Amino acid sequence: MTSSQSHEFARQLVARIERWPIAGSFTISRGAKTEAVTVVAEVSHGGHTGRGECVPYPRYGETAETTLAALQAMQEPLSRGLDRTALQAAMPAGAARNALDCALLDLEAKSRSQRVWTLLGRPAPRACTTAFTISLGTPQAMAAATAKAARRPLLKIKLGGDGDERRIAAVRKAAPESELIVDANEAWTSDNLERNLHACAELGVTLVEQPLAAANDAALARIKRPIVVCADESVHDRASLSGLRERYDAVNIKLDKTGGLTEALDMADAAHALGFEIMIGCMVATSLAMAPAMLLAQHARFVDLDGPLLLAHDREDGLRYEGSLVYPPEAALWG
């Protein structure tokens, strides 16, 4: 490699852990938290810096520290010319690759003075309606939280197993006009699956997300599903779509699972071709993590990109939210 080629590929990577306080707490079936721990990757070259943000997920064995280390280990490959295409094979799908994939996309867009959707040959994103999440709690606490959000058109309700029929009934009473989707986060069992599904259907719930544990979801293929059932923990990237069609009607695509926008776009195309409905989801994080997903949201039946709304404050130049409408990112944020 000549010195001029070496200079051309001399990208510099900086990665760090950030902590963002949550407004109150965020509770699902696996526990509660009061802050969002994110990892940010910044790749600089030629006077431009691209950024990407990810949320390590303990459910998949990830921590902020291991994710940071995985990113830092990519400095040498980046300096030797690793590009976004090669990255897909160089790192496994997961949070670390998501941050780096999105940072490289942002850098490429800035370097070419283009918006990222133009770069990728995709339609310009438009404002869309996002779900707003109601954390798991007692039926009374969830009804009170729902009443404050009852004017929002789409609510996502976190459930947790025992008592879910009472929870969803209380929520529906508090928000009679809102479309409801629910997320059990693997907390149901084969014993209460059909009862809970029918209770949701009777109360007009549109979708149930990941009712059973990913390792024990075969029962979904043996029952008649009265409403749409969406895979989350059971689906990660294109390779995990195979065999899910008998068990699920929809898939939740999250960048932290797919390992970035590059794979997520291909996964959405593949899922559509297989007949799945698409949900675009997120972890609790800042607008930097949501921005790339706006390219996916344009063709999704369900959009759940409310992460910044759950924080005490967002980062500078964050996405614009007007009620439940979320607008595409400005270039100052990403892409």
Number of Cβ within 10 Å of residue 44's Cβ equals 16
Kindly tell me the burial class for residue 226, based on how many C-beta atoms sit within 10 Å of its own C-beta (0-12, 13-18, 19 or more). middle
Residue from 158, 173, 224, 257 carrying the catalytic annotation? 158
Residue from 148, 173, 224, 254 carrying the catalytic annotation? 254
In total, the chain counts a number of residues equal to 335
Closest to 75 (Cα-Cα) out of 8, 18, 17, 10: 10
The string of pLDDT tens digits covering residues 116-171 is: 999 999 999 999 999 999 999 999 999 999 999 999 999 999 999 889 999 999 99
Domains of the chain: 3-117 (3.30.390.10), 128-326 (3.20.20.120)
Dihedral of alpha carbons 255, 259, 260, 264, sign: negative
Per-residue model confidence (pLDDT) at position 29 = 65
What is the model's pTM?
Answer: 0.93
Q: Is 158 a catalytic residue?
A: yes
The string of pLDDT tens digits covering residues 164-197 is: 999 999 999 999 999 999 999 999 999 999 999 9
